Amino acid sequence: MTTAIAPTTLDRHWPAEGVTRVPFWVYSDPQVYEQEMSRIFCGESWAYIGLEVEIPHAGDFKQVIIGDRPVVMVRDEAGAVHVFVNRCAHRGVKFCRVPSGNVQRFTCPYHQWTYDLQGRLRGVPFHRGLKHQGGMPADFSREAYGLEALQVTVRHGTVFASFSMQVEPFADYLGPTMLSYFDRVFDGRPLRLLGYMRQRIPSNWKLMFENLKDPYHASLMHVFLVTFGLFRADQPSAVYMDATGRHACLISRRGEQRATSDTKDIRNLREDFQLHDPRLLVPVREFPGDATVVMQTLWPNLIVQQQSNTLAMRQIVPRGPEAFELLWTFFGYEDDTEEMTLKRLRQANLMGPAGLVSADDSEVMKLSQDGVAPYAEAAGVIEMGGRGVEDTEHMVTEVAIRAFYRYYREVMGF
């Protein structure tokens, strides 16, 4: 962080144990939520916006929401990517009404103020009045009423934006370790868009991050993953974070479908389960190094998913304290063979709202919300793997959740 955080004006008190406790009021309190929207999503953070491949041509645009604020990503005639607020400078109308498309200009439907692809105000009907009547004041300057633009970073085909003009450069924001894992998937090769999945999960948005920072549950709840060795506590694995703790990576290697002395606590391991059609899971190694899974959580709204050959951006859009939307953008690389594309599409069966693995998560997040919301005075216990926040070379830990809340408390002033 480059600027000091103001103390919160909210009268909320974190448990004395610190990051080994998460008070349940963080999941349901509307005032806490409002402060999150301003301090986290509109604060000094780089929010994920989309992929360049979604807007390949001049005039291509896509609606996006950062926190609860609608914005538009658009490519201009020179090829540059801009992100503007989806709010007319005149009276505040959300002028862009379709999710994505191509335009030459944006025109607000209410009074037809018109903006170019760089967000400059180009047209104000009756600017000079009509028959010497009305019109804007003589000193009205169109230059002063462009669309409010966000700061934008484009890195290897991905687009991030920030409401803050003071936010540090994107590479510094990620830090060297997180950047190296980010560049592992986004290595500069052109991407191929495979499609979207969208779901609304009735739980607080932070539970999604907790889920992806929690390798402890993955070995226990996800019978499908465990059974096929896609992610298991007895495999070589690691949890790495950036210096602040806001970002993390869960890293693992695929193992075999067999029980070992280490799997006796994994009572759900099903050695007998064989697929009728094994084509569902025939991963091929495609990235350097041993890791076959890297799940990267990037503050404030992104999970980069690499599980075997299925690659996706999972974008978190909060919808009030007790719900969020999860928008999945699946992709491959432009130079993928047809066979590789098929692998990605088949393995996508693990993920999304119908995912053989991910549906467990959306279901359990609802149960979490059902449990925590009525008991705001209670707190969760985050002590697996100790009480610290340091990088860890195994999976039996909740360290990344502790690190996340250490940073969360700093930003929120709790």
Partner 1 sequence: MAVPLAVRCEIEELLAEYAAVLDAMDLERWPEFFTEQCFYEIIPRENYDRGLPLAIMRCESKGMLKDRVVAIRETMMYEPRYMRHMLSAIRVTGESPEGITVEANYAVFETVINDLTRVFNVGRYLDRIVREAGQLKFAEKHCVYDSVLVPNSLIYPL
Binding residues for partner 1, rule: CB under 8 A, are: 99, 193-202, 221, 223-224, 227, 268, 270, 273, 275-277, 279-280, 325, 330, 341, 345-346, 348-349, 352-354, 356, 359-360, 362-364, 366-367
130 beta partners: 133
Judging by beta carbons within 10 Å of its beta carbon (0-12, 13-18, 19+), is residue 142 exposed, middle or buried? middle
Q: For residues 36 and 361, which CB has a smaller minimum distance to partner 1 in the complex?
A: 361
CB 158 within 8 A of CB 51: yes
Q: For residues 277 and 335, which CB has a smaller minimum distance to partner 1 in the complex?
A: 277
Judging by beta carbons within 10 Å of its beta carbon (0-12, 13-18, 19+), is residue 246 exposed, middle or buried? buried
Q: For residues 132 and 276, which CB has a smaller minimum distance to partner 1 in the complex?
A: 276
Q: For residues 171 and 342, which CB has a smaller minimum distance to partner 1 in the complex?
A: 342
Note the Cα 168 to chain centre separation in Å. 19
Contacts of 48 (CB under 8 A, 6+ apart): 158, 159, 160, 298, 301, 302, 313, 315
User: Two tokens at 206?
Assistant: 């932070």
Q: For residues 181 and 328, which CB has a smaller minimum distance to partner 1 in the complex?
A: 328
CB of residue 409 to partner 1, shortest distance in Å: 29
Q: For residues 184 and 366, which CB has a smaller minimum distance to partner 1 in the complex?
A: 366
Helix (H/G/I), strand (E/B), else coil: 102: strand
User: Two tokens at 178?
Assistant: 């997180």
E strand or H helix that includes residue 368: helix 358-372
Q: For residues 170 and 224, which CB has a smaller minimum distance to partner 1 in the complex?
A: 224
CB of residue 232 to partner 1, shortest distance in Å: 14
Of 209, 180, 178, the C-alpha closest to 398 is 209
CA angle 213–216–221, rounded 5-degree value = 105
Q: How long, in residues, is the chain? A: 414
Give CA–CA dist 287/295, Å, rounded: 14
CB of residue 230 to partner 1, shortest distance in Å: 12
Judging by beta carbons within 10 Å of its beta carbon (0-12, 13-18, 19+), is residue 282 exposed, middle or buried? middle
User: Two tokens at 374?
Assistant: 């009525």
Q: For residues 237 and 369, which CB has a smaller minimum distance to partner 1 in the complex?
A: 369
Q: For residues 153 and 362, which CB has a smaller minimum distance to partner 1 in the complex?
A: 362
Report CA-CA distances (Å) from 339 to 175, 197, 251, 292, 309: 35, 22, 26, 19, 11
CB of residue 324 to partner 1, shortest distance in Å: 11
CB of residue 65 to partner 1, shortest distance in Å: 13
CB of residue 369 to partner 1, shortest distance in Å: 11
DSSP 235-267: S-EEEEE-SSSS-EEEEE----S---GGGTT-T
Q: For residues 118 and 199, which CB has a smaller minimum distance to partner 1 in the complex?
A: 199
Helix (H/G/I), strand (E/B), else coil: 99: coil
CB of residue 237 to partner 1, shortest distance in Å: 21
CB of residue 64 to partner 1, shortest distance in Å: 15
CB of residue 342 to partner 1, shortest distance in Å: 8
CB of residue 194 to partner 1, shortest distance in Å: 5
Q: For residues 93 and 223, which CB has a smaller minimum distance to partner 1 in the complex?
A: 223
For residues 129, 130, 131, 132, the Cα torsion angle rounded to the nearest 10 degrees is: -10
CB of residue 331 to partner 1, shortest distance in Å: 9
